Structure 1
Amino acid sequence: MLFEKSTKLLITAICAIGLAACSTTPDVEETATETVEPVETVETTTVTEPTISAEEQMRMESEEMRKARTVYFEFDDATVQQQYLAVLELHAKFLAESGMTVTLEGHADERGAPAYNLALGEQRANSVAQYLMNYGLAESQITVVSYGEERPADMGHSEGSWEKNRRVEIVYR
Structure 2
Amino acid sequence: MSLRRLAILGYALAVAGCASSVPPAQVTRFHLGQPLARGEIVVEPLNPAMANSLEFRDQAEAVSAELARLGFRLAPGISRSELVAVVAVTQGFRDEMSGGSGMSVGIGGGSYGGGVGIGGGVSFPIGKSNSRQMVLTELAVQLKRRSEGTVVWEGRARSEARAGTPYAEPSATVRRLASAMFKDFPGESGRTVTVK
- Asked whether the two chains share a fold, i.e. TM above 0.5, the reply is no
Structure with more relative contact order (C-alpha pairs < 8 Å, separation 6 or more) = 2
Q: Which protein has the bigger strand share?
A: 2
- TM-score, length-normalised on structure 1? 0.26
- TM-score, length-normalised on structure 2? 0.24
Bigger radius of gyration among the two: 1
